[in-house]
A and B are shown apart, each in its own frame.
Chain A
Amino acid sequence: MSQLRAERARLLAVFEATGAVRVEADILQQADVLLDLYGEDIRARAYVTSDPLRGEQMLRPDFTVPVVQKHMAVSAEPARYTYAGPVFRYQDSATGRAAQSEQVGYEVFDRSAPEAIEAEVFGLFHRILAPLGLIASTGDVGLLRAAIDGLTTSEARKAALRRHIWRPARFQSLLDRFSQPVAQKVLGVGGQQIGLRRAQDVQERLAQLQDEATAPPIPAAEIAALTDLLAIRGKLPEALELLQALTGRLPSIATAVLHMATRITALDAAGVDVAQIGFEAAYGLTAMEYYDGFVFGFYAAEPGWPAIASGGRYDALTRVLGQGRAVPAVGGIIRPEYSLRAAIGSAS
């Protein structure tokens, strides 16, 4: 226990040394905010409780949301925050992980060059974790978003694909659906008008379905290029080459690939040996849907361990919580229980 306290304090001190301000967050969080943000899936992972006056409350499943809320309330930028404390998540009995676990985090709200901030955050985590000999993986959700934007198809289909970026199985089934001629749909027989969804809403969607019925399939070459994009993996320099080669077939990702090249240069300048850092285009797509750009994780070889650290860019989340006002945000957390265990492992 005292070891864990020391590890927590050590990590906090490293983050505070960058000028980050230490912040606290309540353990009891208003459930409706988290539910609205994460959807029902969070209920399967977070402890929900309630009291007669305040309604549904949730035991803090992460710090990101309360820290963003705090920042949005004061809103001076640039800002750097650090925090430490327990988070609470249901665990499958099979994994043997604790339902209460510690996190030490670092969040940066800064409007200067995005790649520089990403390199700063990743570089800091990389430096802290370097002695542990971990495997670093990175990804960039921005590439897939750009690829979707460039598809030859309707805005409605692009919106549907974008909405399911974080659900790979559903994303794939949508892609399959949109790559074929539209199947004839047999409509329901109808019935008495009930509920909040109005007759007019049904009419509107019927009209949309009619438009959709004549929509041409997404060209096979584009589907193939998108599939190839999702399969790209390798060390950063190698992945960049593959991506640059793919821009011939997928011109819409060119800007996102340039961002990635700039980020790699910035990482190199921050002292990261980029040839040792992994990249997967599909990385981070099963995490919760708030990361929308650069994402990263550090892993030990131990089976069954969670990522020892993870993080990324989450601009979209600040837009939702800021009710229209958004701020570029990059951050991450370290799990001190596991960084400690990894340190003991690598010392012995």
Chain B
Amino acid sequence: MIKLGVPSKGRLMNETFDWFAKRGVQLSKSGSDREYVGRVEGVDGVELVLLSAGEIPRELAAGRIHLGVTGTDLVHEKLANWADTVEPVAEMGFGFADLIVAVPACWRDVTSLHDLDAVAARFRADHGFRLRIATKYHRLVRQFLTAQGVADYQLVDSQGATEGAVKNETAEAIADITSTGATIVANHLRILEDGLVLKSQATLWKSRIAGGDCGPLIRKIRAK
């Protein structure tokens, strides 16, 4: 039995269901709407596993599911050397989100990472601690800033409402995902012109660890 992991709720789940339906595979929640048990029609030997999108990378890497739908951002963040454990099967064309670095809009002098780095040095000298960047994407953001040569910053963990961190004075800048940028602007922030860390979208991934014959399902979705 091939296990297919799909986000268990919300728009991401519905769009995933639609995407598979267009390709002749009907996914549905069985029983009540609140129950996390699913059904698969249109292809044999596939079992639907409903999971939080954030847990799907881990389950793929552990080989407990064979295929899974989740964002590029989550796979790259949560799996070190992700290419060793998972491979992308199809980019699904929804769930678009950019992981970006943003600063307060009132920082008129800061439009690039070069500026951010310069300001970080000064901030540390003035305040005695490193400029704080709030994010939940620690690995991705750290790799990005290291590669770009930004120093004298620290990451502070923010698992939600990250855009509010500057106003609340728990951080000086943020790194978060955005699709339209509206929340960024509403929170008096501005995206740095070279502050794009990663472009993400919902993607169907195959576990390199789980083994199993995913052929029938993959052929079916690729036929259309």
Contact = CB atoms under 8 A, between A and B. Distances in A.
Interface string A158-178: 011001100101110100010
A93 B169 contact: no
A195 B166 contact: yes
Interface residues of A, number: 39
Contact of A167 (B106, B149, B172): B149
A245 interface: no
Interface stretch (A34-42, A147-155, A266-274): A34-42
Interface string B66-95: 000000000000001100100000000000
B106 A194 contact: yes
6 contacts: A93-B84, A170-B149, A173-B149, A186-B111, A195-B166, A206-B108
B130 A93 contact: no
Top 5 A-B residue pairs of the complex, sorted by shortest distance between their CB atoms = A170-B149, A191-B105, A205-B109, A188-B108, A195-B166
A195 B102 CA distance: 13
Given A40-B153, A194-B188, A202 B130 contact: no
B206 interface: no
A184 interface: no
Size bracket, chain B contacts: 35 or more
Contacts of A167: 149, 151
Contacts of B142: 40-41, 43-44
Interface string B147-171: 1110111110000000000110100
A206 B109 contact: yes
Given A186-B111, A202-B109, A192 B130 contact: no
A43 B133 CA distance: 14
Interface of A: 35-36, 39-41, 43-44, 92-94, 159-160, 163-164, 167, 169-171, 173, 177, 185-197, 199, 201-202, 205-206, 209
Given A39-B152, A163-B151, A188 B167 contact: no
A273 to B, nearest CB: 39
B149 A205 contact: no
